[in-house]
Amino acid sequence: MIDLDFIEQLKSLDLLVKRKVISSYAGEQRSIRQGRGIEPVDFREYFPGDDLKFVDWKIYARTERLFIKRFEEEKDLTTHILLDASKSMDFGSGRYTKFDFGSMLAIGFAYLVTKENEKFILATYNDDLVENTGVKRGKAHFFNAVDLVNRQKLERKTNLERAVTRYEKFIRSRSLLILISDFLEPIEGIESGIARLARKSKNMIVIHVMDPVETGEKWEGDTKLYDLETNEVKRVFFSPDLRREYAVRMMAHIEKVRGICNSVGADFFSAKTNSPVFDIFFGITHLNPRGHKK
């Protein structure tokens, strides 16, 4: 069961978070939605599953591209929260595993969205899409999300690209998308998955979670390494030079993920599981896009 005590702390940031996390990332979308008004006010690209009766065929005749009419009406912001539930997220050297910590971040965002009476969907993935709450709003939906992460089984490898391919059908409009993972998979799949999500979302927040032990700073001498996703065991002697090489490679991988996010306009944050969850949200509200302090 994930620890929900931090929710009480988030209430103290309620007004700040409403302005900085919800409004600053997606508030500009609230004035227009696809509706049934008399005159269209703008258009957006057609996505599979959209109602064809809203397609503007005159634009198609000129451009050979499908666009949907949008009408003046209050828009409901939909927040998409994708949480890595692969076996590597089951690691933890302290109070929380990476999945525990990632779940608290996911539920924290769900709480903030629920306080705004907006819709959200929380989905888990490994090498495929695993489970999701559906797109709804309200307190009952929030507690369904809590139940989902509490009963989640962590298994199999990570394949963000494949999971995103399965998930794209849920993104019907350009909304706020939050991706939480340890990103322990080949960089090519990460790049493809993030790029596909960025094309579908209006704004995107990517949060990398890692256990402090994974930095390798305290590894020395004869050490057994267990691969949670393959059950493979390797025996390695960590000399000071090897420890430094491991740390450099780990940080290089994280920086590549950051670079991918920068290239598609997504905001990237990295957090260790021994950090207070409240501090992560406070940090996000006090950072400019791309993770630079104000």
pLDDT at 291 over 50: no
55-58 long-range contacts (CB < 8 A, ≥24 apart) are: none
**Inside any domain, residue 203:** yes
Give the per-residue pLDDT at 174.
65
* pLDDT tens-place string over residues 19-37: 445 544 444 443 333 444 4
Helix axes 98-115, 277-285, angle to 10 degrees: 50
Binning pLDDT at 50, 70 and 90, where does residue 44 land?
Answer: low
Half-sphere exposure for 81 (CA within 13 Å, toward CB): 28
**Inside any domain, residue 20:** yes
**Stretch among 91-100, 140-149, 168-177 having the lowest mean pLDDT:** 168-177
Binning pLDDT at 50, 70 and 90, where does residue 48 land?
Answer: low
pLDDT at 151 over 80: yes
Indicate whether 90 and 46 sit together in one domain.
Answer: no
Beta pairing partners, 235:
224
Indicate whether 55 and 95 sit together in one domain.
Answer: no
pLDDT at 46 over 70: no
**Inside any domain, residue 219:** yes
Binning pLDDT at 50, 70 and 90, where does residue 274 land?
Answer: very high
Binning pLDDT at 50, 70 and 90, where does residue 259 land?
Answer: very high
- As a whole-number percent, the residues of the chain with pLDDT over 70 amount to 80
Give the per-residue pLDDT at 222.
75
Indicate whether 169 and 67 sit together in one domain.
Answer: no
171: CATH: 3.40.50.410
Give the per-residue pLDDT at 256.
97
Indicate whether 229 and 87 sit together in one domain.
Answer: yes
Binning pLDDT at 50, 70 and 90, where does residue 65 land?
Answer: confident
**Inside any domain, residue 18:** yes
Indicate whether 107 and 227 sit together in one domain.
Answer: yes
Average pLDDT over all residues of the chain: 82
How many domains does the chain divide into? 2
Instruction: Give the DSSP letter of residue 100.
Output: H
Q: Which residue has the higher pLDDT, 127 or 66?
A: 127
pLDDT at 211 over 50: yes
What is the value of pTM for the model shown? 0.78
Strand duo 267-272 + 67-72: pairing: unpaired
Indicate whether 25 and 152 sit together in one domain.
Answer: yes
Indicate whether 139 and 152 sit together in one domain.
Answer: yes
Cβ-proximal residues to 68 (8 Å cutoff; 6+ apart), any chain: 34, 43, 44, 45, 46, 47, 50, 51, 54, 55, 56
- Enclosing domain of residue 79: 6-29+75-293
**Inside any domain, residue 1:** no
pLDDT at 145 over 70: yes
Q: Pick from 14, 45, 72: which residue ends a domain?
A: 72
Query: CA of 158: how far to CAs of 79, 109, 259, 281, in Å?
Result: 22, 23, 20, 25
> Cβ distance 5 to 108 under 8 Å?
no
> Cβ distance 120 to 81 under 8 Å?
yes
Indicate whether 192 and 159 sit together in one domain.
Answer: yes
pLDDT at 150 over 90: yes
Indicate whether 213 and 160 sit together in one domain.
Answer: yes
Q: Pick from 17, 48, 72: which residue ends a domain?
A: 72
**Inside any domain, residue 64:** yes
**Stretch among 85-99, 135-149, 232-246 having the lowest mean pLDDT:** 232-246
Indicate whether 66 and 83 sit together in one domain.
Answer: no
Indicate whether 40 and 128 sit together in one domain.
Answer: no
pLDDT at 51 over 90: no
**Inside any domain, residue 37:** yes
Give the per-residue pLDDT at 19.
45
**Inside any domain, residue 178:** yes
Indicate whether 24 and 130 sit together in one domain.
Answer: yes
Give the per-residue pLDDT at 31.
37
Give the per-residue pLDDT at 25.
47
